A and B are shown apart, each in its own frame.
Chain A
Amino acid sequence: MDYLVLAVIAGLAAVERKGFLQAMLARPVTLAPIAGLALGDLPGGLLLGPPLELLWLGAVSLGAALPPNEALGAVAIAGGAVLAGRALGTGVTPEVAAICIATVGVFTVLGRRTDGWVEDWNVRFSSRAEALAAAGAPRQAVRENLLGMGLPFAISFVLAPVGAALCAAVAPALLRHRPGSAVPLAVGFAALCGLAAAAGARSFRSRRGLALFLLGAIPTVLVGRWLGVGGAG
């Protein structure tokens, strides 16, 4: 049942991401918490949403260019992390998150490949619409448009649960077999979070980017330390 829920979320996200609406509902920052909530672990989704969003902040479709499929990656990673955390009885921890990102991060590249297939596949709907319009069936012709949402839904419906299942198998096995790896992996996740924020900041291509980035980071850390928050060194 959990995998079916993830499949439906991933399928709908694939449609919302490009075919319909584009209201930020398929962005990782929204999708990871939705996946976590649907599987009964909202905090787990919230742990993953911000770094995944920052990591793929620059993943936008400019012109005919295809970005990595961040929506597919977000559902597979967040869903897999929740299932792995449940199997371990710990919930989604940084080490679980690190393993899941490492395991299925490449799904974003796979998703970009399948997005290209979808664009080729959809040519048939365009051709059919032209033929129907020429034959005097305008209503049927324009409805071909809606059929274009079928394949993206189906691909993500299949791939996201596969990715989540991989995470749910790999993370518990690794952490049970090598419990000593938990702390180093948590540090690895912290490093990934740092990279994600830098990548997100760079995606804005702002002039004086590094200065602005530090303008946000340094006061935040100083104020946080002054307030006694967290463990930044």
Chain B
Amino acid sequence: MKVPDATLGRVFWRCLFLQAAWNRRGMQNLGFAYAIDPALRRLYPDPERRREALLRHLATFNCHPYTAAAIVGGAIHHEERVAAGEEAAAVPLEFKQVLQGPMAAVGDGFFWAGLRPFFGALAAVGILAVGWPALVVVVLAYNALQLGLRWKLFRAGYRSGDEVVATVAALSLPAWAARLRAAGTVTAGVAVGLLALGARPALGGATGAVSLAAALAAWGALALGARLLPTAYLALALGTGAGALLRLRGGP
């Protein structure tokens, strides 16, 4: 028996709630069971078999919330075979256990360390250079990309099961992540330039110069292992002190 497209659509929608009840014991277990339940309902009309299937998907699971879509799709692929008697009931769980770590690493590296921070920096630059319309465009573009990729991974997992690894490999996500990290670093540099140019000239040109000097000093401090929030408070205090000194020496 095949799971109908409408049910697959419902499962994908529920994948968006994967982390709703993230917990220290089972992590995303409850979210995974919630997502796959409409498919299990279709595949197992017998309540006892459905109960067994649901219990196996309540086992501990943790992955990146975007790339997990591929595993949800792949688990349905295997459950169809279990329901048809072509595979043992343990196979879907083995599939999840084998893939969750690598898919989490790919997702963390590409989405969390590359794509989203790049779009965050781009949105910041967009606001500074253009204004709120740029923010809307950047957020829409990000979501078109991430939702499109999630759907593609989900479909690939459902269609090909274990072969989803080849689909993910073909996307070359680690190489794209490296490019996005480089581009994001440049974008953050553009942002500090725009922030310096846009700084209210409270002390003539000195305010913008303070931004640039603080950026370089902060780079050094953070490289030496300083923690972010205390360093931010220190920058605020030192900047305010510098402002007071400059003002005493003839500023406005």
A residues whose Cβ falls under 8 Å from a Cβ of B:
18-25, 27, 29-30, 33, 42, 46, 49-51, 53-55, 57-58, 60-64, 68, 93-94, 98, 101-102, 105-106, 108-109, 119-123, 125-127, 129-130, 133-134, 136, 138-139, 141-149, 180-181, 183-210, 212-221, 224-225, 229-233
Contacts and interface: CB of A to CB of B under 8 A. Distances in A.
B204 interface: yes
19 contacts: A20-B17, A22-B19, A51-B195, A63-B62, A94-B199, A122-B24, A138-B41, A149-B21, A187-B202, A187-B210, A188-B238, A190-B214, A194-B212, A195-B231, A198-B218, A200-B117, A205-B113, A207-B182, A216-B192
B243 A183 contact: yes
A183 B247 contact: yes
A23 B139 contact: yes
B240 interface: yes
B16 interface: yes
A139 B194 CA distance: 53
Contacts of A64: 24, 27, 62
A202 B214 contact: no
A220 to B, nearest CB: 3
Contacts of B223: 202
Nearest to A201: B188
A129 B30 contact: yes
A196 B240 CA distance: 16
- Majority SS of interface residues in chain B? helix
A24 B116 contact: yes
Contacts of B50: 138
A192 B243 CA distance: 13
Interface in B17-54: 17, 19-27, 29-31, 33-34, 37, 40-41, 47, 50-51, 54
Contacts, number: 414
Contacts of A180: 247
Contacts of A134: 51, 55
Contact of B132 (A19, A46, A191): A46
Interface of B: 16-17, 19-27, 29-31, 33-34, 37, 40-41, 47, 50-51, 54-55, 58, 62, 65-66, 104, 108, 112-114, 116-121, 123-125, 127-128, 131-132, 135, 139, 142-143, 146-147, 178, 181-182, 184-219, 222-223, 228-229, 231-233, 235-244, 246-247, 251-252
Contacts of A129: 30, 33, 58
A112 to B, nearest CB: 10
Contacts of A192: 214, 232, 235-236, 239
Nearest to A221: B193
Task: Please provide the 4 A-B residue pairs with the shortest distance between their CB atoms, ordered closest to farther.
Answer: A216-B189, A191-B239, A148-B21, A220-B193
A125 B30 contact: yes
A197 B251 contact: no
Contacts of A231: 197, 199-201, 204-205, 207-208
Contact of A230 (B62, B114, B196): B196
Given A30-B123, A197-B211, 10 more contacts: A24-B143, A27-B123, A29-B124, A50-B128, A51-B195, A122-B22, A144-B21, A146-B34, A217-B192, A221-B193
Contact of B243 (A106, A188, A196, A207): A188
Contact of A191 (B23, B113, B211): B211
Nearest to A15: B20
A233 to B, nearest CB: 3
Nearest to B16: A21
A197 B30 contact: no
